Structure 1
Amino acid sequence: MCIKCGKCIPECTIHRVNPDEATSPRGFLDILKGVEEGEIKIDKNFKDTVESCFLCNQCVEVCPNSLPTDFMIENARNLVAKKYGIAWWKRAFFFLLKNRWAYDLVSKLGFYFQTCGFKIEEEKKSIRSRFSLPMLHKGRLLPAFRKKTFLKKYPEKIEVKNPKKRVAIFIGCLANYNYTEVGDSLVEILKFLDIEIFIPKKQSCCGAPAYFTGDFKTTEELIKRNIEYFESFINEVDAIICPEATCSAMLKKDYEEYITHHMDKSWLDRHKKIKQKLFGTTEWLYKYTDLEKRLSNINKTSSVTYHDACHFGKVFGIKNEPRALISKVSELKEMSRPDVCCGFGGITIQSEKFDLAKKEGMIKANIIKEVDAEVVSAECSACRMQITEMLDKVGDNKKFLHPLEIIASKIKELN
């Protein structure tokens, strides 16, 4: 029960850019209670309110009662989706997430034809939209498709001599289609550590975009599909590692919450076996390999400032691990507020409420701009997309690199 202490409000992302009690965490909870008791109707105003949350988990982290406000809002969005439906373009996107063959086709066509509708920026790594469709607002800087996806670039098994461990890679959609250098870097590091690699070719989207939008039908389909697939190889690997904060949180935390409240409980035991082997990449590399030791005595030629992605820093408390590894190869310079949300917020915030994403993103970008560093890093491609665009808007030329990219570049120098 919310005790109205207000500890959540000072750090709340949406309240920072839209200081309204209705869209503060305790305001959300009051409104949801009103709906439950029949005092508040599920109308367009309710829809607008529950879709304004960034789902950054800051309120959950500071709440003295550890109230799962994010989970309650996700369920409220499902009620909205049942009443008002889901926009056609979101349904089309979720179709791609469920059907990789279709997403692969769109990606391939996108690579060859994106220059027809977009201006290529940053050596073909980003695109500036000339359209005004949702997510493609005119002037937006968005990640470009790559010629070949990560899952298409490598064989299913990458063997090494005298393997010490064997891991599976869950890559995530953005790293698979747009930021493939993240996966390339992970493969480079694992080979350096003599770790055998298994790349599950039939992996599906984790389901986070659909879940955060309230599309529980798609969410449940992807949960079942991934758990069933993971079960087919879970006993053959030491870990399933993922370079994405949001995917990791979805696979470990959100699957468990969703199954507990919406699915047959037999799925909980099946998920538990998989959950214990799921890790973020820097967390696993730091705790279960000798990477940190092997990166000693490297010449540090660059400076890096690190942003704590919400779904690692706030959900799992993964803060020290990436910093410990980065600091072995680069000079680490802390920004004043590394835990402030970048403002990505999910597909609805990025499209229908981009004004909120931009306000929060500019706050984050200016915090980063103050740091005298060459590179900004985070273990999240959604953060990468948002921060890259907002740094462009504030005129900061820092390069964004995933921690794995920073580490892999130094390993190449060693070799």
Structure 2
Amino acid sequence: MGAITVTNLGKAYKQYANRWARLAEWILPWVKAQSTLKWVLQDISFAIQPGEAVGIIGINGAGKSTLLKMITGTTQPTSGSVHITGRVAALLELGMGFHPDFTGRQNAMMAGQLLGLSGQEVEQLMPEIEAFAEIGDYIDLPVRVYSSGMQMRLAFSVATAKRPDVLIVDEALSVGDSYFQHKSFDRIRAFGQQGTTLLIVSHDKNSIQSICDRAILLDAGQLSMEGEPAAVMDYYNALLAKRGNVTVKQTTNADGKVQTISGTGEVTMEKVSICDEAGQAIEVVGVGQPIKLIVEILAHQDVPELVLGYVIKDRLGQAVFGTNTHHLDNKLERISAGSRMTYSFSFPANLGVGSYSISAALHTADTHISQNYEWRDLAAVFDVINVDKGYFVGVNWLPPIMECKR
């Protein structure tokens, strides 16, 4: 079984005023240092237990890829240490190590041996590698004629041909067609069920939330947050809009869920409720039952524009449905301080059995990135039960009209 322990890990690069300073430091090592250190990552510590799946997120430049390179040993850390147990398979830069003039088959042989497999093992696994990659006769053509998607298919197929103890995947899987992405994540999920330890970097929040047990947020080279994927994603989403006087805070509710609230505060939500048709607040909803989402709003300052949006999320924090008044062509303009508004959205709860939450946001334009007055995750929570519908599975109730002709 594989485990990863990262202790006080840091990476810095030397910066020189000019090329002569670099030369002086090299030939005159006893002279005062001619460089300064630019830290890309600093004081990163975490542990991943055998069989655990952990996702790493952060904006571009946060240090995610550098961290993975240090964990896999392709880049040496400036400080700290990494300890890994078990056989590791890593898929970092797309097709890293592939020689453009060698065929896909030859590159697969070399890549497999670099992963610690013997030549005989790679030979035995080659039919499976070819079948999973699905690149056909291109397997015997030079890699230089491959598209980026084909390189990714082959690289992933080789790296996962034999289940590793530890699988480390960078954002390479974001390249290529949707079919192969689904196929790849199905294999990753299967590995996780069989005990493989997974460390994955992805901008796809749904992938992180559906696969991972835990998430780590990197911000400006430091570990900003670690915890349940949904809570970390909510915090990350709030940070994307953090500018000027935007505040971001998190609180733990009575049920142990972490709620994220962010915004500038010019307009806020006083109450968010799930109600029945009569307007009475409810916490339990029947499949297909007509319900209302009611949001009560107070403007604390004059604002030029106001858009209200909401997202229904499942228990994993993945979006089931969302919209806002901008897309509904019903945004408000020139709101005065002290104004109170009550929005009501009516719809049938065509949802599967389970627990759901509402995230609501007050902002301008089409997203909260432009001007975030208030974003509130877990603004309302409700459960859906099946009272009078036939048996079905999934997060949506989509009753079909069936015909059968013989």
Q: Please indicate the TM-score interval, normalised by the length of the shorter structure.
A: under 0.3
What TM-score, normalized to structure 2?
0.26
- Higher fraction of strand: 2
Rg larger for: 2
TM-score (norm 1): 0.26
